[in-house]
Amino acid sequence: MSVIRRWLCLAWLLAAVPAFGQVSRVDGTALSSGGTPNVSSCGGSPSLASGSTDDAGQINVGTGVVLTCQLNWSATMAAAPFCIVGTNLSTLTVGWTTDTAKLSVTVSATLGGGKIYYLCRGGV
């Protein structure tokens, strides 16, 4: 399967699955939004951009040599969510795993002071 086809399939899946903590109507529209997670193990003084939720957001990576970051969900999920993760530096290789408690991100070179973007669905 081509890379573009995989991304299109994943984008469709993410659009079709309700977000964390959401109660949905039959037509799929959300009645409530996801909670606010917290970031840890991500350099000195990491933070989340304003408006970031369990569903999507931006991690402002802390200072120093940073090869891993962890985003802790606002509440334990019933199942591990599906996520897409990227950074503001196109030269890095990004890897990630999810479980019912967190999103763990690894990068191929230091990202100190950079940004990590995430979009997640499922987990309910």
Q: What is the pLDDT of residues 59-82, one digit of tens each?
A: 999 999 999 999 999 999 999 999
Q: Are 123 and 34 in contact (CB under 8 A)?
A: no
Name the pLDDT band for 14 (thresholds 50, 70, 90). very low
- How many CB atoms are closer than 10 A to CB 33? 13
Alpha-carbon distance of 101 to 113, in angstroms, equals: 25
Q: What is the pLDDT of residues 18-42, one digit of tens each?
A: 444 444 434 444 433 579 999 999 9
> If you write DSSP's letter for every residue of 4-47 in order, what string do you get?
HHHHHHHHHHHHHSPPTT--B-TT--BSS-----EEESSSBS-E
Cα–Cα–Cα angle for 55, 104, 62, nearest 5°? 90
At residue 85, does pLDDT exceed 90?
yes
Q: Which residues of 81-92 are buried (b: 16+ CB within 10 A; e: fewer)?
A: bebbbebeeeeb
Instruction: Output the CA torsion sign for 50, 114, 15, 76.
Output: negative
